[in-house]
């Protein structure tokens, strides 16, 4: 019996990377269907090897986390590629992604793309927003025009021993960024549709690429998260700054909406918390309350394994 990690799913075959860096093409046994589960890219699996570097998967090790869109398991960190322009910067979309990652116990690295297309005032304004996210605990990479490729150096330093997923709005430049990191990848890229202000989907499969002693995934772009997988009372736990400031609220179960003595609302008023974060929080609360139970994703199991900050 052998152990490895699935790095690609293609036409029903799972390519498994073993500890000695050998790739074995496998199929999944039929009994997985009876268990109503199937292997995902990123899974640590046990497999039996047959001739010609082929085999079949016999077991899937327990997952630390998993995503439905894209289907990927055991993610350590996500590089959230956020366009400064073309398409326009959206704090709402950024916060949607960060909430989803916090809920899944996936560390987030914020990478602001296309900063070279901003004028001086736009650059200054967006950098101030980026600095806020850094202040509340996120790792932020905001490329400076006078430091070419320094952003890539910082980014590559985070890959070692990590499974890294690239995510962000369509057209933000995820594939372009990966091609800058490793030109041999030659990942297809697409131009942004000016009419719709969103990009054309170019990445069509999920695969893991060995880079700098880690594994990096290039994944399909998306514009929104359709569903929040938490209750309205849990949402506050996924806003980093709310957790700390909320300890000073008068009521322990404060939702930071209309309760008296709310430290979070006071922090918004005095500028400690940026206004867009709180506005997005209010909107997400309403979206969660309006969701119908049947829209919850099938097969989702909540894991209470939050990382120590």
pTM of the model: 0.82
Please report the pLDDT score of residue 207 as a whole number: 84
- Place 192 in a pLDDT band, splitting at 50, 70 and 90: very low
The mean of the pLDDT values for the chain is 84
pLDDT one-digit tens code per residue, 221-234: 544 455 688 999 99
d(CA 303, CA 293): 19
Output the six-digit token pair for 272.
């400690």
Of the listed ranges 171-175, 184-188, 205-209, 238-242, the least confidently predicted one is 184-188
Tally the residues of the chain.
Answer: 309
Whole-angstrom distance, CA of residue 132 vs CA of residue 129: 5
Most distant CA pair in the chain, distance: 69
pLDDT at 219: 59
Exposed/middle/buried for 26, CB within 10 Å: 0-12, 13-18, 19+?
buried
Per the model's pLDDT, the better-predicted residue between 134 and 217 turns out to be: 134
Cβ contacts of 30 within 8 Å, gap of 6 or more: none
pLDDT of 301 over the 50 cut? no
Q: How confident is the model at residue 161 (pLDDT cuts 50, 70, 90)?
A: very high
Q: Which residues partner with 215 through β-bridges? A: 163, 210
Residues paired with 56 in a beta bridge: 27, 48
- Parallel, antiparallel, or unpaired for β 163-167 and 214-218? parallel
Given this model, what pLDDT does residue 157 score? 94
Tell me, what's the pLDDT at 225?
56
Residue 250 CA, distance from chain mean position: 34
Binding site members: 113-116, 168-176, 249, 254, 256, 262
pLDDT, residue 172, reads 83
Q: At 188, is the pLDDT very low, low, confident or very high (cuts 50, 70, 90)?
A: low
pLDDT of residue 137: 96
Could you tell me the domains of the chain? 2-62 (2.40.50.140), 67-218 (3.40.50.300), 235-295 (1.10.40.50)
The DSSP line for 257-276 is SS-TT-HHHHHHHTTSS-HH
Specify the pLDDT at position 91: 95
What percent of the chain stands above pLDDT 90? 58
Could you tell me which residues are annotated as the binding site for Zn(2+)?
A: 249, 254, 256, 262
Element (H, E) at 90: none
Positions at the binding site for GTP: 113-116, 168-176
The first and second tokens of residue 50, run together, are 């047959």
Band of pLDDT at residue 201, cut at 50, 70 and 90: very low
């Amino acid at each position: 019996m052998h152990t490895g990690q699935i790095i690609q799913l293609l036409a029903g075959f799972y390519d498994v990377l073993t500890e000695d860096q050998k790739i074995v093409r496998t199929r999944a046994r039929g009994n997985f269907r009876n268990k109503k589960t199937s292997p995902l890219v990123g899974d640590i699996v046990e497999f039996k090897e047959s001739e010609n570097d082929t085999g079949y998967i016999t077991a899937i090790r327990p997952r630390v986390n998993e995503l439905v869109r894209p289907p990927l398991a055991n993610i350590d960190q996500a590089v959230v590629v956020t366009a400064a322009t073309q398409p326009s910067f959206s704090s709402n979309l950024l916060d949607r992604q960060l909430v989803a990652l916090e809920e899944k116990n996936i560390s987030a690295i914020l990478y602001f793309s296309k900063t070279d297309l901003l004028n001086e005032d736009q650059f200054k304004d967006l950098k101030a927003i980026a600095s806020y996210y850094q202040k509340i605990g996120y790792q932020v990479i905001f490329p400076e025009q006078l430091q070419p490729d320094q952003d890539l150096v910082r980014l590559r330093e985070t890959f070692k021993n990590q499974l890294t997923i690239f995510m962000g709005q369509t057209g933000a430049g995820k594939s372009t960024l990966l091609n800058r990191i490793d030109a041999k990848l030659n990942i297809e890229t697409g131009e942004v549709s000016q009419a719709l202000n969103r990009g054309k989907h170019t990445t069509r499969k999920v695969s893991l690429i060995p880079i700098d002693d880690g594994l990096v995934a290039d994944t399909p772009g998306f514009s929104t998260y359709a569903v929040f997988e938490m209750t309205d009372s849990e949402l506050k736990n996924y806003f980093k700054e709310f957790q700390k400031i909320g300890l000073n609220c008068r009521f322990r179960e404060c939702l930071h909406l209309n309760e008296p003595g709310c430290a979070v609302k006071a922090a918004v008023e005095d500028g400690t918390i940026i206004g867009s974060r709180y506005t997005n929080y209010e909107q997400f609360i309403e979206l969660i309350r309006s969701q119908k139970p049947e829209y919850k994703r099938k097969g989702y199991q909540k894991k209470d394994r939050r990382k120590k900050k």
